[in-house]
């Protein structure tokens, strides 16, 4: 085994075992999967069991308690502000509600919105993309123009219009996310369908007398399904970020539901004296979106035949 010299005077890099560790980590992303399970999936599923307090109940006597590791504030040897408590590990908000419990229940809200919106958007976009790519002609032109219009509409503006019309609600967020994300599936699936429908096995299916419906759902759809799965994985993080943004602006999940975006908005005026009210929900959003993006990149490399052996 040849020696490898790197900056800093380190030699025999391969013999340190780092090479194998890096290669193994790239093949199986334990870190993003672990973060997803810890931050999003497990809290969302078992929120009732793991949350130490009710997310909507608080007491003004427990208002703005700092995290457990923050000690009391002293002035001239006199305690003017109490320190953290193990009863509220991540502190409390301005209404005395437990931050950890609200973050745990907020994971359930984010995961529910993501899964419902991605399923609806993926179903609509995939169906239209298959029809546009397979049949072509005027139908393809019409669907793609609608896709262009959908991609040009700002998500925030659409959300504000819907909130003014029907009010902020869980349904409003689902409608906004679906209206924005279906077009991405349609465009991606259409491109893959255009490449698949000209292949020999599609021609043989036509010669054998298979209907267009059977060809699309028996032969074309399985070949674009990997693309749909990878796109859905990558967009779950974007949906969570969009939902948090809408909730932060008051155009998403209404109060007092424990949504991460709402929690960040509640603490923006307290960022100096009670930084934990906005900080911990923001960290939850950061870790979740980052983990989903890393997992989506790994999944794309595993499912894409062009990248599988790179």
Q: Is residue 9 part of a domain?
A: no
Distance CA 254, CA 167 (A): 9
DSSP state of 74: E
Q: Is residue 5 part of a domain?
A: no
Distance CA 242, CA 176 (A): 9
Q: Is residue 2 part of a domain?
A: no
Residues 133 and 268 both lie in one domain: yes
Q: If you count them, how many residues does the chain have?
A: 310
Per-residue model confidence (pLDDT) at position 4: 44
* Residue ranges making up the domain that contains 250: 43-57+103-308
pLDDT in tens, 226-269: 888 888 888 888 888 888 888 888 888 888 888 888 889 888 88
Distance CA 147, CA 52 (A): 45
Q: Is residue 199 part of a domain?
A: yes
Q: Is residue 127 part of a domain?
A: yes
Residues 184 and 288 both lie in one domain: yes
Residues 112 and 85 both lie in one domain: no
Q: Is residue 31 part of a domain?
A: no
Distance CA 202, CA 282 (A): 49
Residues 125 and 251 both lie in one domain: yes
Q: Tell me how far the alpha carbon of residue 287 is from its chain's centroid.
A: 10
Q: Is residue 142 part of a domain?
A: yes
Residues 110 and 219 both lie in one domain: yes
Per-residue model confidence (pLDDT) at position 6: 43
Query: What's the domain count of the chain?
Result: 2
Task: Report the predicted TM-score, pTM, of the whole model to 2 decimal places.
Answer: 0.80
Residues 75 and 157 both lie in one domain: no
Residues 143 and 230 both lie in one domain: yes
Asked whether the beta carbons of 230 and 184 are under 8 A apart, the reply is no
Residue 288 burial (C-beta neighbours within 10 Å; 0-12, 13-18, 19+): buried
Give the CATH number of the domain where residue 163 resides: 1.10.3720.10
- The CA-atom distances, in angstroms, between 251 and each of 94, 95, 104, 248 are 22, 22, 22, 8
Residue 107 burial (CB count, 10 A): 24
Residues 147 and 285 both lie in one domain: yes
Asked whether the beta carbons of 258 and 106 are under 8 A apart, the reply is yes
Per-residue model confidence (pLDDT) at position 126: 93
Residues 85 and 231 both lie in one domain: no
Residues 248 and 170 both lie in one domain: yes
Measured on CA atoms in the order 183, 189, 192, 195, is the torsion positive or negative? negative
What are the mean pLDDT values of the chain's consecutive 10-residue runs (310 residues total)?
A: 44 49 55 68 83 86 83 57 78 88 89 90 92 89 92 82 81 87 91 87 85 87 87 87 86 85 87 86 87 78 60
């Amino acid at each position: 085994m040849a020696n490898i010299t790197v900056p800093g005077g380190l030699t025999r890099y391969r013999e340190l075992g780092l090479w194998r560790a890096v290669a193994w980590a790239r093949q199986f992303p334990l870190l993003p999967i672990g973060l997803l399970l810890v931050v999003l999936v497990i809290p969302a599923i078992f929120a009732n069991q793991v949350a130490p307090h009710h997310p909507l109940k608080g007491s003004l006597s427990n208002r703005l308690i700092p995290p457990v590791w923050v000690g009391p504030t002293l002035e001239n040897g006199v305690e003017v502000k109490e320190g953290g408590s193990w009863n509220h590990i991540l502190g409390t908000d301005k209404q005395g509600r437990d931050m950890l419990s609200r973050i745990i229940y907020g994971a359930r809200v984010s995961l529910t919105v993501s899964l419902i919106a991605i399923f609806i958007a993926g179903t609509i976009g995939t169906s239209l993309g298959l029809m546009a790519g397979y049949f072509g002609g005027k139908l393809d032109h019409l669907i793609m123009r609608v896709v262009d219009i959908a991609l040009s509409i700002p998500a925030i503006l659409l959300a504000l219009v819907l909130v003014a019309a029907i009010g902020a609600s869980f349904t409003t967020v689902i409608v906004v996310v679906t209206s924005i994300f279906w077009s991405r599936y349609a465009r991606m699936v259409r491109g893959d369908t255009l490449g698949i429908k000209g292949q020999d096995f599609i021609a043989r299916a036509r010669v054998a007398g298979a209907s267009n419906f059977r060809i699309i759902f028996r032969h074309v759809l399985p070949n674009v399904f990997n693309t749909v799965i990878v796109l859905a994985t990558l967009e779950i993080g974007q949906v969570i970020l969009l939902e948090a943004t809408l909730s932060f602006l008051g155009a998403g999940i209404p109060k007092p539901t424990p949504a991460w975006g709402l929690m960040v908005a509640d603490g923006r005026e307290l960022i100096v004296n009670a930084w934990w009210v906005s900080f911990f929900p923001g960290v939850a959003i950061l870790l979740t979106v980052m983990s989903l993006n890393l997992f989506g990149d790994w999944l794309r490399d595993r499912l894409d035949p062009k990248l599988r052996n790179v």
